[in-house]
Amino acid sequence: MDDVVKSGAISPAIRRALVGSFALLILLTGGAILGMGIRSAYRAVDDLSRELITTRAQQIERRLDGFFGPVHSQLRIAREWGRAGLRPLDDVRGVEFREENPTYDGRGVKVAMIDMNPVPACSRAS
């Protein structure tokens, strides 16, 4: 053995074992790096998707609030008039409808809206 070390020659079996171990080490390291890259890419896609969904939901909520805001304020005013006795509720027929259909809560109802406004500058009817 001392002769092999002194002469600097390495036997083919040892050389093959070293090359095999080195190749395995490179392969495992590359696989680990690739796996971490794929995992972080999936995490980035997931984070961006969540952020986009949240942002879009907030935008839609603001648009709906702008659209239904006047309706809500009109309903609040009508409610206060009804409580104060300034508006008779007999002509509304909403109470009768609710008594006749107690299970109707709006689930499963499809609403279609057709915009007949020919003026493109007006975004909604006044």
Q: Quick: pLDDT tens for 98-122.
A: 778 878 777 777 777 776 666 555 5
DSSP per position, 18-78:
HHHHHHHHHHHHHHHHHHHHHHHHHHHHHHHHHHHHHHHHHHHHHHHHHHHHHHHHHHHHH
CA distance 34 to 102: 60
Q: Over 70: is that where the pLDDT of 52 sits?
A: yes
Model pLDDT, residue 112: 74
pTM score: 0.43
Domain boundaries, the chain: 2-84
